[in-house]
Copies of this chain bind each other. A is one copy, B any other.
Amino acid sequence: MEGISKETLQRLPTYLRLLKEMRQQGIMTVSSTTIADRLRLNPVQVRKDFAGVSSSAGKPKTGFETEELINDISDFLGYNDASQAIIVGAGKLGKALIGYSNFKSYGLEIIAAFDNNADKIPNDTHSIPIYAIEELPDFVKKTGVHIGIITVPKDEARKVCELLVTSGIRAIWNFAPVHLTVPDTVAIKNEDMAASLAVLSKRLSELLLED
């Protein structure tokens, strides 16, 4: 229960995707070796990760039941009971995330968007309402929503973050290119494209040197 490291936690969604893919192919049972091969991981690591979240043991010689693993991991990640979230900033990135239908299968349901120019924004395609940002605090209080997603330009991000915190939001997913900090009573995940890009670029330049 407690023994799950952050690293394990981050691998779980990847396992889940692969397992679902395998299930679709009619694969009923899968070994840690197979999974490790597909994901370029160590089989011992895979087994340890599974042991942390799944009560059902694997069988020597056969491996794990695909279906059981899918259930256990989904449960552990809370994919079966979605949490509600609001998003602030209905620009391109905001809309992309709103339209990203997969979120629901990841246990996240975006129920409303907020924007400075709520009235100017054509509410095409999307089924969720867009409100003026002034209505945010009341909305949060009324609905008790816990998660806020920030997709505003970087100059507004800090202000929006504060507003979310004072309104009672308890978890913030920040896509603006600023490092936001919050009180200890609030969880934050700074989604840092620049950091990802740095890793990729570095590997690329190593590869190019090898040629």
Which A residues have a C-beta under 8 Å from some C-beta of B? 4, 6, 9-14, 16-18, 38-40, 77-78, 83, 91-93, 95-96, 99-100, 102, 106-108, 146-147, 154, 170-171, 173, 177-179, 181, 185-208
Cβ-defined contact, A39 with B201, below 8 A: no
Contacting residue for A99 out of B17, B92, B170, CB 8 A: B92
Which residues on the B side are within 8 Å of A108 (C-beta)? 197, 201
A207 pairs with B192, CB closer than 8 A:
no
A16 to chain B, nearest CB (A): 8
Overall SS of chain A's interface: helix
The minimal Cβ–Cβ distance linking A143 to chain B, given in whole angstroms, is 15
Could you list 11 examples of A-B contacts with CB < 8 Å? A9-B198, A10-B195, A14-B192, A17-B194, A40-B181, A92-B92, A106-B197, A147-B204, A170-B204, A189-B196, A189-B203
Closest to A102 in B: B177
Task: Decide: B14 and A179 in contact? CB cutoff 8 A.
Answer: yes
Report Cα–Cα, A203/B185, bound state, in Å.
10
Q: A10-B195, A189-B196, A191-B196 are in contact. Are A207 and B96 (CB under 8 A)?
A: no
On whether the beta carbons of B106 and A100 are closer than 8 Å, the reply is: no
Give CA–CA (A195, B11) in the complex, Å.
7
Q: Which residues of B contact A192 (CB under 8 A)?
A: 10, 13-14
Contact present for B179 and A203 (CB under 8 Å)? no
> Is there contact, CB below 8 Å, between A198 and B92?
no
Contacts of A91 in B (CB 8 A): 96
CB of A204 to closest CB in B, whole Å? 4
Quick check: A179 and B106 within 8 Å, CB to CB? no
Give the residues in chain B near A179, CB-CB below 8 Å: 14, 17-18, 38-39
Q: In whole angstroms, what is the CA distance A172 to B38 when docked?
A: 18
Contact residues in B for A177 (Cβ distance below 8 Å):
17, 102
